[in-house]
Amino acid sequence: MELNDWVRAARKYGKLTQEQLGEAVGRTKANVGHWEKGLHSPSFEMVQRIAEITGYAAPNSVAAPEANADDAQKLRQARAIPVVGSVKAGDDGYLEELQYPVGHGEGFVMYWAQDPGAYALRVKGDSMHPRYRAGEFVVITPNIEAQPGRDVMVALTNGKKLLKLLNWSRDGEVQLLSINNGYTPMTIDMADIDKIHRVAGSVPPDAFEPY
Instruction: Break the chain into its structural domains and give their ranges.
Output: 3-54, 79-210
Q: CA–CA separation, 33 vs 56, rounded Å?
A: 18
CATH architecture of structural domain 3-54: Orthogonal Bundle (1.10)
Over residues 77-104, mean pLDDT: 72
Mean pLDDT of 157-186: 87
Please tell me the predicted confidence (pLDDT) of residue 189: 96
Q: Report the pLDDT value the prediction gives residue 192, as an integer from 0 to 100.
A: 96
Name the CATH topology of 79-210: Umud Fragment, subunit A (2.10.109)
Q: Which residues 6+ apart lie within 8 Å of 32 measured at CB?
A: 7, 11, 18, 19, 21, 22
Whole-number pLDDT of residue 104: 47
Look up residue 190 and give its DSSP letter: G
In the chain the beta strands, taken as DSSP E runs, fall at 79-89, 95-99, 107-111, 119-123, 137-141, 151-156, 161-170, 173-178, 186-189, 193-203, 208-210
Common-topology check for domains 3-54 and 79-210: no
Q: Are strands 119-123 and 79-89 parallel, antiparallel or unpaired?
A: parallel
> What is this structure's pTM?
0.61
Q: What is the pLDDT of residue 183?
A: 77
